[in-house]
Every structure is written in C-alpha cells, then in structure tokens.
Structure 1
Amino acid sequence: MIRTLLWLIGGVLLGGIIHIVTILTLPLLAEETTWSRIEALEAQNRMTVLPPIEAGQPNPLQLDPELSYGVCQIDLGEGPAYLSGVLPDAYWSVALFNEAGVVTYSTTNRDGIGQTVELGIFNAAQTRLLAQQQIDIAEGLLVVESRTDNLFALVRLSPPHEAMRARFEEELAKIGCGPRPS
C-alpha cells in the first residue's frame, strides 16, 4: 500500500514537472511572436498606422476594432528615442512593450498630460548620461527608462464617431518616433 502511494506521488510530481517545463518552453519555440509581427510592419523609427480591424477577419495582434492604432519600433542601441506630437482631443494611450510583448511603461491623456505627447525613452546608460547633464532634453519631456534596448510603442486612439476615424488616423501618422532629428 505504501509502495503504491509512493509511486503515485512520484508520478504526480514527475507529471507536474513535465507540465511546467513544457509550458515554460513552448513560447521560446514559437516562430511567430508579437515581436516578429511588429517587425513585419517595417515600423522602425516611424509611426505606422495599422489598418482597421474588420469583423470576421484575422486579428493576430488581438486588437480592439473600435480603436485606431499606431506602432513604432525602437532600438535604444542607436541612441535615445523620442515620441512626440499632438493627438486629437479624445481618449488616447501610449504603451511601450519589450520584445516579449510585456508592457514596460504606459500612460494616457487622462494622466494630466493633455493632447501633447512628449516622451523621451532612454536605456540605463543613457539615463546616467542624462543625470550627468551630458544629454540635452527639452523642458517638459517625460523621461522613461527602459531595461532593454528593443521596444515598440503602441498608440491607441478612440475616435468618438466612426466618421472621425480617418482624421484621427491622419493625426496619428504625424506622431514623430525614433531618434531626435539632428
């Protein structure tokens, strides 16, 4: 009886370990990730407005069809990145994601920012230079430090009416993203 109980406990423990290892390694084996989908958009250092999501059509990024989206891929290894511009007078949010698709920073116009987005994105080394005043920044710039160099910014806009979507997306396309122009 005790021998059977020990075999049963051993089997459950071994099954649990195999289950956990499988769950943790499957994402590493995936060929198509959020990062690879963003890379395919060719949005390096420029804001790319995503096409509207149509009902019944594939939605690989699982985006809300009621919102308009812009995405920009950033490499802080090339230097600090800046996200700047004026968004329409409606709800918007900005989120920074790392390569794993995890949000590392997020803000909205409801945080008291208003309609102007002025975001400076720095890695740890660039933040140290900033603290030593070796990098000049504009007054009012919201400074965000990232632990990784490869990021993508996702801007979400919520047009109050479908008729306003095209105008909102035009404004979204004007958002500057990437290194500061020389």
Structure 2
Amino acid sequence: MTRFLLWLIGGVVLGGIIHIMVILTLPLLDDDTVWTRIAALDADNKMVVLPELAPGEPNPLGLDPVLIYGVCRLDLAQGPGYLSGVLPDAPWSVAIFNAAGVIIYSTTNRDGIGQTLDLGIFNAAQTRLLAQQQLDVAEGVLVVESASNQLFTLVRLIPPHQAMRTRFANKLAESRCGNRG
C-alpha cells in the first residue's frame, strides 16, 4: 500500500511539473506577439501614429479608442535610443517596453517634465560609457537604462475634445525617435 501511495504522489508531482512547464512555454511558441504586431507597423527608428480606432472594429493591440497612440521600435545594439518632442498641453504618458511586452520604464507629463519629452535610452554597456563621460548627452535628457536591446516606446495622448484629435496626432507625428550612432 505504501508503495502505491509513493507512486501516486510521484505521479502527481511529475504531472504538476509537466503541467507548469507546458503553461510557461506555450506563450513562447506563439508567433502573434506584441513584438510582431509592432514590427508590422514599420515603426523602426521612427514615430508612427496609430490610426484612430472606431468602436466595433478589430483592435489587435487592445488599445483604448479615446487615446492617440504613437509607437517607435528601437534596437540599442545600433546605438543609444532617443525619444524627443514637444507634446500638446494635455495629459500624456510614455512607456518603454521590452520585446516581451513588459514595461521597463514609464512616465507622464505630471512628473514635472512639462510638455517637452526628451528621453535617452541606453543598454548597460552604453550606460557605463555615459558614466565614464565617453558619450555626450544634452543637459535635461532623462536617462533610462534597459537590460535588453530590443525595445519599443508607446506614447499616449489624451485629447480633451474630439475636435483636437487631428492636431494632437500631428504634434505626436513630429516627435523624433531612433538611434544615435
């Protein structure tokens, strides 16, 4: 009887381990990820304003149709990344995501930044060069360090009125995003 119980417990533990491994590896097998969806937008080293979402239309990124979104994809292996621009006088936020879609940094204009967005995004090696003053960074640039090279930024604007959407989207499109060599 004890031998049977040991086999039963061993089978349950092994089954649990296999179950957990399958659940954790399934997302890695999916070809339709946030990274591939962002790649399809042709947003490498440039700000791309996403088209306005209409209620009832497909929303593959799960975005709020009230907001205006700008996306830029960066590869820090090509050099430090930057994101800069003057955004409208309304609430906005910016988030930096790694390739897995996990936020590594986020800020809003309510953090005392004002309407000027000026981010420098560096990997660990570039941050060391920055600390050794081997990289020049303009005064006032907000420095963000990333553990990975593959990133994308997402800027969200909240227009106070529907009539302001086009002006806000145009202002967001003027933002610069890319790598500094």
Q: State how many pairs are aligned.
A: 181
Counterpart of 1:83 in structure 2 is 83
Amino acid across the alignment from 1:37: R
SS at structure 2 position matched to 1:114: coil
Partner of 1:41: 41
Aligned to 1:155: 155
Shift in Å at residue 2 of structure 1?
Answer: 4.5
Task: Compute the RMSD of aligned alpha carbons.
Answer: 1.5
Give the residue type in structure 1 aligned to 2:12.
Answer: V
Deviation at 1:66, TM superposition (A): 1.2
**Superposition map of 1:1-182 within 5 A:** 2=2, 5-180=5-180
**What secondary structure sits across from 2:128 in the alignment?**
helix
Q: How far does the alpha carbon of each residue in 1:146-169 deviate from its partner, in whole angstroms, 9 at most, with x for none?
A: 111110000001111111111110
Q: Which residues of structure 1 form unaligned runs of 5+?
A: none
Q: Distance in 2 between matches of 1:162 and 1:7?
A: 66
User: Match of 1:127, SS?
Assistant: helix
Alpha-carbon distance in structure 2 between the residues aligned to 1:14 and 1:134: 53
How far 1:25 moved relative to its partner?
A: 0.7
SS of the residue corresponding to residue 16 of structure 1 reads helix
How far the C-alpha of 1:89 sits from its partner, in A, is: 0.8
1:15-43 CA-to-partner distances (Å, cap 9, x unmatched) read 32122011111011101111011111110
Residues 2-23 of structure 1 deviation map (CA, whole Å, 9 limit, x = unaligned) = 4554454334323321220111
- Looking at structure 1, the residues matched to 173 and 101 of structure 2 have their Cα atoms a distance apart, in angstroms, of 22
Q: What TM-score do you get using the length of structure 1 for normalisation?
A: 0.94
Give the aligned residue type for 2:154: L
